[in-house]
Amino acid sequence: MTSDKGQKISMPYKLLFVCLGNICRSPSAENIMNHLIDQAGLSSSICCDSAGTSSYHIGSQPDRRMSAAAAKLGIQLRGRARQFAKSDFQEFDLILAMDKDNYEDILTLDPTGKYHDKVRLMCDFCTRHSLKEVPDPYYGGVEGFNQVIDLLVDACEGLLQEINNQQLKA
């Protein structure tokens, strides 16, 4: 797409973070990523959202325990839970599942496989952690929420680096 002056206009690269209920892991990833995007001065190039594969918490704010863990890094968790929709496949450039169950649930909504290449596991982008999935801290203690924040910071940093290397320089 070009402007009337012949300048290239790039659409924002759209990321969707997905967990089960959209009150712990995915809103944390969304808000951590937004924080990193702001710090990098890329707010006009990359935008984020989050969703859950279930309808358990639609309309709810992020879990207070997750918000407390994020606040230790100066990150405020914003947003309200929503459920993943089939239209998200067209709307987003990359869909990031927090664990293998979420990944499979997302792929099930795309039986033809048309959008499978858009769906990745969040931990694929970690550079310091070796976990393959972001654990659900919902039924655990404070340490689990802190671990998730640490893991998501690592994954979001790696994701931002990959987007910079692949998408924005294309």
Look up residue 128 and give its two tokens. Answer: 């310091």
- E strands present in 7-45: 13-19
Please say if 24 is a catalytic residue.
Answer: no
Predicted pLDDT of residue 170:
58
Tell me, which fold does domain 13-168 have in CATH?
Rossmann fold (3.40.50)
User: What's residue 167's pLDDT?
Assistant: 61
Return left, alpha or beta for 127; rule: phi > 0 is left, psi -120 to 50 is alpha, else beta.
alpha
Predicted pLDDT of residue 166: 83
Model pTM?
Answer: 0.93
Q: Looking at residue 7, what is its pLDDT? A: 36
For residue 25, indicate whether it is catalytic: yes
User: What pLDDT is attached to residue 35?
Assistant: 98
Asked if 4 is an active-site residue, the reply is no
3-state secondary structure of 100: helix
Segment-wise mean pLDDT, segments of 10 residues, the chain, 170 residues:
38 95 98 97 96 97 98 97 98 98 98 97 98 96 97 98 78
Residue in 24, 136, 154, 156 annotated catalytic: 136
